[in-house]
Amino acid sequence: MKYQQYICEICGEPYLGVGAPSRCPFCGAFGVRIVEAEKWEPLWGGEISEAARTHLEAALQLEVGNTNFYRNVSKAPGVVQDQKMFKALSKIEREHAEVIVRFLGAAMPDFESLETEADKARETIEENLAESHARETRAINAYKLAFSEVEDEKVKLFFGELIKIESDHLSLSE
Ligand SMILES: [Fe+2]
Ligand SMILES: [Fe+2]
């Protein structure tokens, strides 16, 4: 294998390496979704159904909230390795929001202005992990419902992959 460009099918971000990584460093998608650059085609950009739109809009709210929560926790006092883990989670959730916005043909929201009280860091690592667990569980349940209700092939694929990615996140707080 040679050093070359790969592109993630789920987030569209380019990756330079020798072989695809086990997870996309940007959106967390499983390595099988990372293809050689010349084989890549964007998932988004087509017409989407009303059902897809409704589920994507709900997903955007979850992803924005989770991005904000994880960013806040990454900046709260604590062990540096914990802060970095939350920073990575925040970046991944932001990437998910970016993909959703592309599916919706919308503009990127102003994340900080959408921040709520619930997105503030908790006092202890245990509380932050518990909150993370609750958020990932909520997202997984919402995406499972979306996966069962949406018929648009590409949106369905996206929700299917999100379920796996957020399940990876859930395992971090177990
Ligand atoms: Fe990705
Ligand atoms: Fe996410």
Query: Residue range 43-65: average pLDDT?
Result: 98
Count of structural domains, the chain: 2
pLDDT digits (tens, 9 = 90+) for 21-51: 999 999 999 999 999 999 999 999 999 999 9
How many angstroms separate the alpha carbon of residue 92 from the centre of ligand 2? Answer: 7
Do 156 and 94 have their domain in common? yes
State the Cα–Cα distance between residues 36 and 103, nearest whole angstrom: 22
Ligand closest to 67 (CA) is 2
Which CATH number characterizes residue 92's domain?
Answer: 1.20.1260.10
Give the pLDDT confidence score for residue 109 in this predicted structure.
96
List the alpha helices (DSSP H) in the chain: 50-75, 80-104, 125-149, 153-172
Ligand closest to 11 (CA) is 1
Using the predicted structure, report yes or no on whether residue 174 has a pLDDT greater than 90.
Answer: no
How many angstroms separate the alpha carbon of residue 10 from the centre of ligand 1? Answer: 5
Q: For 84-109, b where at least 16 C-beta lie within 10 A, e where not — what string?
A: ebbebbbbbbbbbbbbbbbbbeeeee
Which CATH number characterizes residue 35's domain?
Answer: 2.20.28.10
Closest Cα to residue 160, out of 75, 72, 55, 82?
Answer: 55
Does 44 reside within a domain?
Answer: no
pLDDT digits (tens, 9 = 90+) for 126-171: 999 999 999 999 999 999 999 999 999 999 999 999 999 999 999 9
Using the predicted structure, report yes or no on whether residue 173 has a pLDDT greater than 90.
Answer: no
- Provide the β-strand partners of residue 64: none
How many angstroms separate the alpha carbon of residue 99 from the centre of ligand 1? Answer: 9
Helices (H) and strands (E) in the chain, counts: 4, 3
Domain that holds residue 155: 50-172
Does 148 reside within a domain?
Answer: yes
Do 20 and 106 have their domain in common? no
Does 45 reside within a domain?
Answer: no
How many angstroms separate the alpha carbon of residue 15 from the centre of ligand 1? Answer: 9
Do 141 and 64 have their domain in common? yes
Do 139 and 75 have their domain in common? yes
Q: Which two tokens stand for residue 156?
A: 């369905």
Do 54 and 119 have their domain in common? yes
Q: Which two tokens stand for residue 131?
A: 């909150």
Ligand closest to 165 (CA) is 2
How many angstroms separate the alpha carbon of residue 47 from the centre of ligand 1? Answer: 22
Does 163 reside within a domain?
Answer: yes
Ligand closest to 15 (CA) is 1
User: pTM above the 0.95 mark?
Assistant: yes
State the Cα–Cα distance between residues 69 and 173, nearest whole angstrom: 15
Closest Cα to residue 58, out of 150, 161, 169?
Answer: 150
Give the pLDDT confidence score for residue 166 in this predicted structure.
97
How many angstroms separate the alpha carbon of residue 1 from the centre of ligand 2? Answer: 31
